[in-house]
Amino acid sequence: MQRVKVVSISDFTHPVMADSSQEVISEGRPTEGSSPAPAAPAAPAATAAFAAPAAAAPHAAPSAPSGQHGFGRGQDFRGGGGGRGPQRGRRPRQSEHDDRENSDIVEKVIFINRSAKVVKGGRRFSFSALIVVGDRKGKVGLGLGKAGEVAEAIKKGGAAAKQAMVTVSLAESTIPHEVTSVFDGAKVMLRPASQGTGVIAGKTVRAVLDAAGVRNVLTKSLGSNNAANVAKATLSALQRLRTREEILRCRGIMVTPRASVPPALAPAN
């Protein structure tokens, strides 16, 4: 009966037929009287393959910057350097023109009313907004907007008020003369005031006068306190104002500036 001698070299195992008088020789433990086993190779091919990328890492090409063709985290995948090419001059929108033209116009909400309509499934609400706009330089307008939402009603009211702006006559920071106006049940009286008096008025009348540019005035509401009627009565009173030059021009009288009179000579002693 023969024995099998196993010789292990590196990662390979190869069976070898031997005589029965010989013993099994394992790697690293040679028997007496036998020659030492040959040394294993220095570095297997697999180990050298894993070490090659580490040695070549310092000489690797730098990664693509953000915005170019790259696949790193946080990088832009758009082509052409991450941009859309040279931008052509675009035309400004109509809303941008309106904002530039109306940049000095103030807009105030006087009153918001909610109305409900009873239908089969419940109640349906709608809103109306009374808006006043002006440039505080003698131009003022009043508008009413209606919609299913408050924001849309305010937007419609503001647009209607800007289209209905009128010019009123002012005397610097006050009004030229006293005036009283009536609209339905509302009656509003306006009286000029001296510098530093301020606007003595209620909420609705104050909003209209402030949009028109009046800074010193005395007012009194003598009738109904309905916001829409009071605002319209106030606007009607402002439209009835006339300056001295306008009245004389309507009468056909030419207004000539007065010549400056030299001061009287002092009597000689």
Residue 260 has pLDDT above 90, yes or no: no
> What domains are there in the chain, each with its CATH number?
102-250 (3.30.230.10)
| pLDDT tens by residue, 61-73 | 555 454 444 444 5
Q: Of 27-31, 120-124, 184-188, 210-214, which gets the smallest average pLDDT?
A: 27-31
Residue among 155, 158, 148 at smallest CA distance from 114? 148
Per-residue pLDDT band at 269 (split at 50, 70, 90): low
Per-residue pLDDT band at 164 (split at 50, 70, 90): very high
pLDDT value at residue 258:
67
| pLDDT tens by residue, 201-246 | 999 999 999 999 999 999 999 999 999 999 999 999 999 999 998 9
Residue 139 has pLDDT above 50, yes or no: yes
* Contacting residues for 177 by C-beta, under 8 A, at least 6 apart: 192, 241, 242
Per-residue pLDDT band at 188 (split at 50, 70, 90): very high
Q: Mutual orientation of helices 227-239 and 203-212 as an angle, nearest 10°?
A: 40
Residue among 122, 100, 102, 126 at smallest CA distance from 112? 126
pLDDT value at residue 255:
74
Reported pTM: 0.58
Q: What CA–CA distance (Å, rounded) separates 1 from 20? A: 7
Q: Higher model confidence: residue 260 or residue 37? A: 260
Q: What CA–CA distance (Å, rounded) separates 247 from 43? A: 114
**Please, are residues 214 and 174 in contact by the beta-carbon 8 Å criterion?**
yes
The angle subtended at Cα 148 by Cα 147 and Cα 151, nearest 5°, is: 70
